C-alpha cells in the first residue's frame, strides 16, 4: 500500500507538470511579469525612484523585487517551473516519437494499407526485370532508394524520407530551455560605461542605471582617440580608439575599436559608443601675456594645471582652472554648463616675485570682462585645444553564447517543423493468374494535401511503366 500511495502521488505530480493548462498559466504569468518589468524601470538609483514614486510605493517595489525583477527569486522560480513543464511535456511525448523515428516495417498487409492516407492498386499484364527497375527508380525519385524484401511469394518495397522531422518539437523545446538557462546566466553579468582620455588607464566601470562602480580584474588604457568630421560640418564621420588591456602590470592585448567592432577580453566587451570634449582638466590653451604699458604680446602654450614663467621676469602664472562653458550656479560658484567650449574661461593665479599672489579670470569671448585693473599684466585667452575622451560601453554577459546556442536549436527545429515531413510509401508486387497485382500505399504526418498530389503523380508514373512494352 505505501508503494501504491507513492505511485499515486508521483502520477498526480507528473500529470500536473505535463498539463497544457499549466503551460498556459505560466505563459500568462510570465507575460504579465515582463510587462511589469517594462513599465517599472529596473536597477535605478534610489533617488531616481523617489522622483517617480512615493516612499511607500518605492519600499513596496523594493520589498517585492519589482525594481530588480529579473534577479528576483520568484522570477527564477517561475522560469524554473516553465522549464520543468517543457521538459516533462517532452518526456511524456518521447515514447510516441521514438516509435515514429524507429524504422517502419518494410512489409505491410493490405488491410493496414487501406487505412493509410493514400491507397491504390495497379495490374501489370506483363512484368519483367526492366519494369521492376522502373518501379524502384520511380520510388527513388519520389523519396529515396527503397528497401526490398521477398516474403511468401510477394515482393515488398518500402521508401521513406524525413523520419527525424519529429525531432523538431524536441529541438525547439531544448532551444527554449537553453535560452532560459543563458538568460539566467546573463543576470550574473553587467552593463556599464567608462570615459578615458588619451593616456588614461582605468579598471573602474560605472554600472548603468544604478551608477555603482565595479572594478575589473584588469585595466584598459586609451592609447589614442581619433575623430574625423564631414567637410564643413561638425557631424562626426568616424571615431575610433586604440585600447590596450593591462593585466598584472603587463600589456596583454591592443586593438583599435570602432562602432560595432569591439575589443573582447575574458568575456568583457568594450564597444566604441561615444566621445566628448573634456577641456576642464585636460585641455590646452594659448595664453597671451603682455605688460600693461607694452604693445608686444607673448603667447604661451599652457596645459591646465601648468605653471609658466613670464619671459624677462621671475614672475610665474599658473592655469588653475579651465572651464569650457562658464556659468554661475545658484550659490554663486563658477561651473561648466557642458563639456562643449561654448564660453571658455581660465582661472589664473599670478605669482609676482616678492609679492603676494593674486587670481584673475580670463574669458575667450569677452576679453575685457573681469580684468584686474591693478595687475601689471594683460592676459588674453587666444585659443583653446580641447581634449577628447572616448566613451566606452562595457558589457559582460556570460550567457550570451548559451543563448545563441538555444536560438540556433530553435531555428533548426522551426526549419524541420515547417519544411520537412515524414513521408512513407509501401509497394507490394504479387503474381496472380499470370498478371501482377501492385498495391501502392503511402502516408505523411504533415502537409497531407501536397502529399496526395505527389502520390497521384507517382501512381500515374507507375501506371505508365506497366504499359511499357519490354
Q: How far is C-alpha 335 from the chain's CA centre?
A: 40
CATH architecture group of domain 114-161+421-466: 2-Layer Sandwich (3.30)
Per-residue pLDDT tens digits for 390-446: 889 999 988 888 999 999 999 999 998 889 999 999 999 998 888 899 999 999 999
Per-residue pLDDT tens digits for 323-379: 888 888 888 888 888 767 788 888 999 999 888 999 999 998 888 776 777 788 989
Please give the C-alpha separations between residue 169 and each of 88, 96, 379, 417, 418, in angstroms, as whole numbers: 13, 12, 79, 8, 11
Per-residue pLDDT tens digits for 184-229: 888 788 889 998 988 889 999 988 767 788 999 999 999 998 888 7
Contact predicate 176/403, CB 8 Å? no
Q: Where are the domains of the chain?
A: 2-100, 114-161+421-466, 186-279+389-410, 281-386
Q: How far apart are CA 107 and CA 117, in angstroms?
A: 17
pTM of the predicted structure, to 2 decimals:
0.62
Task: Give the list of residues 6+ apart from residue 440 with CB closer than 8 angstroms, or none.
Answer: 118, 119, 120, 121, 122, 425, 426, 427, 455, 458, 459, 462
Other CB atoms within a 10 A radius of the CB of residue 381 amount to 21
DSSP, collapsed to helix, strand or coil, labels residue 24 as helix
Question: For residue 8, what pLDDT is reported?
Answer: 78
Amino acid at each position: 500500500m505505501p508503494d501504491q500511495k507513492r505511485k499515486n502521488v508521483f502520477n498526480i505530480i507528473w500529470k500536473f507538470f505535463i498539463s497544457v493548462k499549466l503551460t498556459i498559466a505560466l505563459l500568462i504569468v510570465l507575460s504579465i511579469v515582463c510587462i511589469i518589468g517594462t513599465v517599472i524601470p529596473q536597477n535605478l538609483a534610489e533617488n531616481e525612484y523617489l522622483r517617480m514614486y512615493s516612499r511607500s510605493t518605492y519600499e513596496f517595489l523594493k520589498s517585492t523585487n519589482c525594481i530588480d525583477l529579473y534577479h528576483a527569486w520568484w522570477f527564477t522560480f517561475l522560469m524554473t517551473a516553465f522549464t520543468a513543464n517543457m521538459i516533462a511535456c517532452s518526456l511524456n511525448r518521447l515514447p510516441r516519437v521514438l516509435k515514429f523515428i524507429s524504422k517502419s516495417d518494410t512489409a505491410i498487409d493490405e488491410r493496414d494499407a487501406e487505412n493509410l492516407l493514400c491507397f491504390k492498386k495497379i495490374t501489370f499484364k506483363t512484368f519483367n526485370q526492366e519494369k521492376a527497375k522502373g518501379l524502384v527508380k520511380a520510388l527513388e525519385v519520389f523519396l529515396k532508394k527503397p528497401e526490398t524484401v521477398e516474403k511468401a511469394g510477394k515482393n515488398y518495397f518500402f521508401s521513406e524520407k524525413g523520419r527525424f522531422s519529429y525531432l523538431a518539437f524536441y529541438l525547439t523545446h531544448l532551444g527554449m530551455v537553453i535560452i532560459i538557462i543563458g538568460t539566467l546566466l546573463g543576470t550574473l553579468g553587467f552593463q556599464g560605461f567608462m570615459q578615458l582620455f588619451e593616456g588614461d588607464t582605468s579598471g573602474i566601470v560605472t554600472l548603468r542605471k544604478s551608477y555603482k562602480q565595479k572594478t575589473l580584474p584588469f585595466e584598459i588604457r586609451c592609447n589614442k582617440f581619433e575623430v574625423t568630421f564631414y567637410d564643413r560640418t561638425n557631424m562626426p564621420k568616424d571615431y575610433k580608439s586604440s585600447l590596450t588591456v593591462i593585466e598584472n602590470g603587463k600589456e596583454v592585448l591592443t586593438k583599435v575599436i570602432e562602432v560595432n567592432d569591439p575589443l573582447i577580453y575574458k568575456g568583457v566587451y568594450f564597444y566604441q559608443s561615444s566621445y566628448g570634449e573634456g577641456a576642464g582638466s585636460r585641455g590646452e590653451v594659448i595664453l597671451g601675456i603682455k605688460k600693461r604699458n607694452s604693445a608686444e604680446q607673448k603667447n604661451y602654450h599652457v596645459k591646465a594645471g601648468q605653471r609658466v614663467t613670464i619671459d624677462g621676469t621671475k614672475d610665474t602664472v599658473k592655469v588653475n582652472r579651465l572651464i569650457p562653458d562658464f556659468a554661475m550656479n545658484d550659490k554663486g560658484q563658477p561651473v561648466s554648463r557642458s563639456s562643449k567650449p561654448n564660453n571658455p574661461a581660465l582661472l589664473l593665479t599670478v605669482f609676482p616675485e616678492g609679492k603676494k599672489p593674486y587670481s584673475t579670470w580670463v574669458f575667450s569671448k569677452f576679453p575685457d570682462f573681469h580684468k584686474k585693473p591693478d595687475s601689471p599684466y594683460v592676459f588674453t585667452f587666444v585659443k583653446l585645444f580641447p581634449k577628447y575622451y572616448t566613451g566606452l560601453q562595457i558589457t559582460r554577459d556570460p550567457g550570451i553564447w548559451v543563448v545563441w546556442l538555444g536560438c540556433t536549436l530553435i531555428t533548426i527545429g522551426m526549419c524541420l517543423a515547417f519544411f520537412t515531413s515524414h513521408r512513407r510509401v509501401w509497394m507490394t508486387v504479387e503474381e496472380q493468374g499470370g498478371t501482377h497485382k501492385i498495391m501502392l500505399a503511402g502516408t505523411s504526418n504533415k502537409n497531407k494535401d501536397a502529399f496526395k498530389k505527389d502520390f497521384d503523380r507517382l501512381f500515374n508514373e507507375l501506371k505508365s511503366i506497366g504499359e511499357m512494352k519490354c
